Amino acid sequence: MTAVHTDESAANAALDAAFAELERIESVMSLYRSESQISRLNRAGVLEAPDASLVEVLRFAAEVAKKSGGAFDVTVQPLWALKGAKPDAATLALVDWRKVALDEKRVKLAPGMAITLNGIAQGFAADAAMRVMRAQGVEHALIDAGEFSAHGSNAENAPWRIGIQHPRERDAFAALTRLENRCLATSGDYETTFSDDWSRHHILDPDTGESPGELASVSVLAPSAMAADALSTTLFVLGAKRGIDFLRGYPGTDALLILKDGRRVATTGFPFAA
C-alpha cells in the first residue's frame, strides 16, 4: 500500500487501519484459514450470522453469475479440488450458483457443494482497504491486495501507473496502464497452472469443468476492484468476443485481453500508458 499525504503520522495511521481491515477480511473469506467463515461454510454446508462483507460479496457474485449466464460461479470449488483433472458428471452437478441460499442471517449450500471467493475476494479487500484509507483522510493512495485500487494521484501529482504482467514472460510487462480513480484486476492462465502448455489451470468454465482455451490473460479496469476482479474472470471464461460484448453492460469499465497466440484485443477506452 502507498499513501500520499502531507502528514506522515496520519498516513501511517491510515495504512495501519487498512492493513487491519485486510486481516479482518482474510479471517472471513480465506480458504487457507481453517476457521475462516468461508472454510466453516464449506465444511458444514451452512453458516449462521455471516459477516456483512461476506453477504455483500456473495450477492455481487450472484449478480454477475446471473448476467453472465453462469460464466462466473463461486461454486466451482469442487472442480478446483481436482487440480486440472477432467471432472465427472457428479462433480459437475455440484456447480450451480443458484443453489446458494443467502440472506443476512444465514448462508446455506446444497449437499456436497463448496465455494471459493478467489475470483472476487481480493478485489473486495482492495476496495475495503481503500474505504478505510479515505475515512482516515487519505485522498491519494494505491492499494495492491492481489488486485489494485487507486484513488487520487501519485507523489508526482500524476495518475497512478501499473504494469500488467506478461502472460508468457515472467519478468516483463505486457502493457502499462493508468489508474485514474479506477481499479485493475488481471486473470491469467499462468497464475496457477496444472500443465506445461497452460491448457489446464485454475480458471474453470463452470459448464464444462475445464479451463477455457482462447485467452492467456484478461485485465479489467472498473470503478471498484471487486467488479474488476469478478469481471476479469468472467471475460476469461466467455472469451474475447462474448466477453467484450458482456462488458458493455458495466459502465466505466475497459479491458485488455491477450490471446494464447499473443494477439491483443482492447476496448476503445483502455488507457495505455507510455
Instruction: Give per-residue pLDDT as tens, 30-76.
Output: 999 999 999 999 999 999 999 999 999 999 999 999 999 999 999 99
Cα-Cα-Cα-Cα dihedral sign, residues 118, 70, 219, 87: positive
Of the CA atoms within 13 Å of residue 185, those in its CB half-sphere come to 30
Answer positive or negative: Cα dihedral of 45, 51, 54, 55.
Answer: positive
Average pLDDT on 184-203 reads 84
pLDDT tens per residue, range 213-242:
999 999 999 999 999 999 999 999 999 999
Parse the chain into domains and list their residue ranges: 142-266
d(CA 151, CA 199): 36
Instruction: Report, as an integer, the average pLDDT of 247-257.
Output: 97
pLDDT band (50, 70, 90) for residue 81: confident
Strand order in the sheet with 148-151: 2-4, 140-144, 148-151, 183-188, 215-222, 254-259, 264-266
Taking CA atoms, 113 is separated from 12, 19, 61, 184, 237, in Å, by: 42, 32, 16, 30, 21
2-23 mean pLDDT? 95
Q: Which helix (H) or strand (E) holds 28?
A: helix 8-29
State residue 229's pLDDT score: 97
Q: Please tell me the pTM assigned to this model.
A: 0.94
DSSP 8-state symbol, 98:
G
pLDDT at 115 over 90: yes
Other CB atoms within a 10 A radius of the CB of residue 14 amount to 23
For residue 219, give the nearest of 177, 161, 250 by alpha carbon.
177
Average pLDDT over residues 134-162: 94
479515505: which residue's cell? 134
**Separation CA 197–CA 189 (nearest Å):** 10
User: Which architecture characterizes domain 142-266 according to CATH?
Assistant: Roll (3.10)
Confidence of residue 107 (pLDDT cuts 50, 70, 90): very high
Check whether 144 has a pLDDT greater than 90.
Answer: yes
pLDDT at 192: 80
Does 274 score more than 80 pLDDT?
A: no
